Chain A
């Protein structure tokens, strides 16, 4: 099945190669897969960055290929790689690091990092973002568009419930207490507003990771070959999350859609909610009431997960193309471009020097909420990333869904998930 698919793709890509060959004397061309649908506002920002890069690097030409969602991008990149025509550089999930290494698709960047300037650039990234970029003492990816989860609340609803609208809940107990007071029922006992909502329709392990970090645990080894899904800290964390819906009845039972979660907040059907920091601009633009945004509430300590995309350089292309791709990666993630990207898109700039630029300082002054993800950096843990990551993620997501819908207890669901993850990962030790 795959061979046939690859040949077919190869034929199409072969046509492209001939075009490159003819233009050999011209600038080195770098193909750049970027995960966004064509025509969105983000494509304009990317196009603009590329044209400025080309102006300052006349010997390199970058061709942006808008490749759909993250999962479509990795599918297309890997299919192209297997057909012998990979893109030179692509933005793909940091969590897919081990999948890409196992496929032999990406090149370590250490060979390109030569000068002191290069080394200083690499040192500038916050260590938590590098965890999902490094393995076996090699650097495989560069953090580009990273996110985390943050906590929002509706200030009007707080006033109505007799709570201080300027202070969000600071710990697990306060969340339950506030949410109980914020949940509103009509005369039939039907809920018209939930106190708290946490999305769970996809990559819910990500939200669980925040709770586990706050509970002083971890769900997996950074080496990507061992998970701790059935550890007591993890079970307690999922128990707490499940209790919000099933015991305290302050959260909508069942799976909560990522897409409708902010909408529920705008419609006044959820008074507090957790979502990705990528929603900051969305909430800022669409909430018809004053809202508050803060770090995730703590339990034993603060904690939050990271997420998002890395820049990866592919194997299987000419060395001068890889070198050109590296120059592009370096330029794109330097302080100024990092800050610009963060301000325009809402992703977290993964470097401290980006936060110190004038542009960023001015932006945070105008919209203090933008600083919340940055303040959370010291408490962040790397996103779950294992070998066969998509499959392991699905296993833990299923367990979370089973617990949230009451089909299994958190302990049972997680024990089964751990067993399945063990079966998948034992080959990689």
Chain B
């Protein structure tokens, strides 16, 4: 077996994966990068080189700035809430309470449902006047609230749905991690007289850190990646109060057919996600305790 032959075998084995990755990830990403420097070709007018014009336009684009701000609020609001809730749920279903399986199933249920279906159900929850939420609040003297039609509540309404939808999924990871923790640790701690909170703070939580990092990365990516509910519930309105970055890209690319500008927006999103991943892996990873 010569080295060259080995090389060929290796490359042949890699080929299917390389072709798929290149065709659907790398080539499109490079094409997007190139397209972002050109104007959008339309019928009789071919694409023209515009340099960084598309990027400069963004700074003066109020919708882009609104989308960026909304997405930041959305991420900061949903990520810690979803992680906290999922950890709490995992702790509950990991304990020895009755009806554990039922609880596990009900916590996990939102994850198995498709986002489009879920969003349509929540559309009914949020209906002003006779929707579920207003019906529940009415006996307490609350007036009807136009949850999705008011700029002050629209984004918050989307965030609540996102937390509810995401938490169950992250719970599964926490549950798996919790079951890996040796029971002898808690036995030792109780012998030493440590309180449950102290045990959680000093033993369980640090041991869960690798999972927390994994969940955190996924949660942040999802907060930029999932927009199905935006399309169903608010379409970014009212007056862009709930527009998220990816929704704006979709709108620019496939509703306005401004593919050049959409390409530039996509690069911004990619850069943003790359920067976030870099911070997480580069900075947080060093602080995480791996067994």
Contact = CB atoms under 8 A, between A and B. Distances in A.
A1 B239 contact: no
Interface stretch (A131-139, A207-215, A342-350, A388-396): A388-396
CB-CB nearest 10 A-B residue pairs: A104-B43, A255-B149, A254-B149, A254-B146, A401-B238, A190-B143, A402-B239, A401-B239, A254-B150, A391-B256
Given A103-B42, A201-B149, A260 B255 contact: no
7 contacts: A1-B266, A4-B27, A189-B143, A190-B144, A405-B150, A405-B151, A405-B238
A402 B149 CA distance: 11
Nearest to A427: B45
A340 interface: no
A408 B149 CA distance: 15
Given A102-B43, A253-B146, A255-B238, 14 more contacts: A2-B35, A4-B27, A252-B128, A252-B144, A255-B150, A255-B237, A257-B148, A260-B127, A263-B127, A264-B129, A397-B237, A398-B63, A401-B238, A407-B151
Contacts, number: 108
A390 B256 contact: yes
A191 B43 CA distance: 52
A190 B149 CA distance: 18
A361 interface: no
A145 B154 CA distance: 34
A257 B239 contact: no
**Taking each of A1, A191, A259, A402, which has the highest tally of chain B beta carbons within 10 Å of its own beta carbon?**
A1
Q: What band does the interface of chain B fall in when counting residues whose beta carbon is under 8 Å from A? A: 35 or more
B256 A404 contact: no
A186 to B, nearest CB: 9
A391 B63 CA distance: 12
A246 to B, nearest CB: 12
Given A4-B28, A103-B257, A188 B146 contact: no
A191 B259 contact: no
A256 interface: yes
A265 to B, nearest CB: 12
Given A102-B43, A255-B148, A255-B149, A402 B238 contact: yes
A155 interface: no
Given A4-B27, A191-B144, A71 B255 contact: yes
Nearest to B150: A254
Interface in A233-291: 252-257, 259-260, 263-264, 267, 269
B121 to A, nearest CB: 14
**Taking each of A3, A78, A269, A398, which has the highest tally of chain B beta carbons within 10 Å of its own beta carbon?**
A398
A99 B258 CA distance: 11
A78 B43 CA distance: 11
**Taking each of B251, B253, B254, which has the highest tally of chain A beta carbons within 10 Å of its own beta carbon?**
B254
Contacts of A390: 255-257
Contacts of B144: 190-191, 252
Interface string A365-406: 000000000000000000000001011001001110110110
A75 interface: yes
A101 B23 CA distance: 32
B263 interface: yes
Interface in B140-191: 141-144, 146, 148-151
A99 to B, nearest CB: 7
Interface string A177-200: 000000000001111000000001
Nearest to B63: A398
B94 interface: no
A394 B240 CA distance: 10
Contacts of A260: 127-128
Interface string A136-180: 000000000000000000000000000000000000000000000
Given A1-B32, A188-B143, A405-B151, A201 B43 contact: no
